[in-house]
Chains A and B, each alone.
Chain A
Amino acid sequence: DSGVTQTPKHLITATGQRVTLRCSPRSGDLSVYWYQQSLDQGLQFLIHYYNGEERAKGNILERFSAQQFPDLHSELNLSSLELGDSALYFCASSVGISGVIQETQYFGPGTRLLVL
């Protein structure tokens, strides 16, 4: 158990809908990363938040957005869903205390999204 939790584990929805995926980082971790794992694209970085602020964006669609709250949990919002958005969405966390570099990311179990 990495200490990173994600809910829900599975999500089935229809095209055009909007969903929210939730991630709670390990205790004390300030950084949260989101990744998408799909059969055609593999594992791809989406976005990184550090202590509530967006730090980096990867291959994230404009229909997708994320935020990190004061209690450090994060949510990934996916809207106007398409069939191709079906994938496993992972969140990872790492320690991020000012002046301390932490390079290791610990992954949650993922949320499997199926868009029908």
Chain B
Amino acid sequence: AQSVTQLDSQVPVFEEAPVELRCNYSSSVSVYLFWYVQYPNQGLQLLLKYLSGSTLVKGINGFEAEFNKSQTSFHLRKPSVHISDTAEYFCAVTRMGGFQKLVFGTGTRLLVSP
């Protein structure tokens, strides 16, 4: 079975500062990794995904994440955040093979203040 740990439930940061949201996963088989964002009162939007190849993946809205197999991590980063980035961020994992359920972390609330 797969599991995801997002250690930080909330990350406060000032506008234009860099941010890193941490995600660690556990799995005995190869996995795909995802970051989703949920803005207040909205659904989940895919930010980026790691399937294979380059371990640094770039997503929408200036976000990027790095897959580290040895550390079983997939941390999300943005060099300069905006107020509009305030949202809940979910890391998710699914085992390779297609049509597999997503296993989500508990989410990290990013709070960007002026």
Chain A residues proximal to chain B, CB less than 8 Å: 2, 4, 31, 33, 35, 42-45, 48, 50, 55-56, 58, 90, 92, 94, 96, 101-110
Contact = CB atoms under 8 A, between A and B. Distances in A.
B101 A102 contact: no
Given A2-B45, A43-B90, 20 more contacts: A2-B43, A31-B99, A33-B102, A42-B106, A50-B99, A55-B99, A56-B99, A56-B100, A94-B99, A96-B98, A101-B97, A101-B99, A103-B32, A103-B94, A104-B49, A105-B102, A106-B46, A107-B36, A108-B43, A110-B43
Say whether chain B's binding surface is mostly helix, strand, loop, or mixed: loop
Contact of A109 (B43, B49, B94): B43
Contact of A107 (B43, B94, B96): B43
A4 to B, nearest CB: 8
Interface residues of B, number: 24
24 contacts: A2-B45, A4-B43, A31-B99, A33-B101, A33-B102, A42-B104, A42-B105, A43-B102, A43-B104, A43-B107, A45-B101, A48-B99, A48-B101, A55-B99, A92-B44, A101-B98, A101-B99, A103-B32, A103-B49, A103-B94, A103-B98, A104-B46, A107-B45, A109-B42
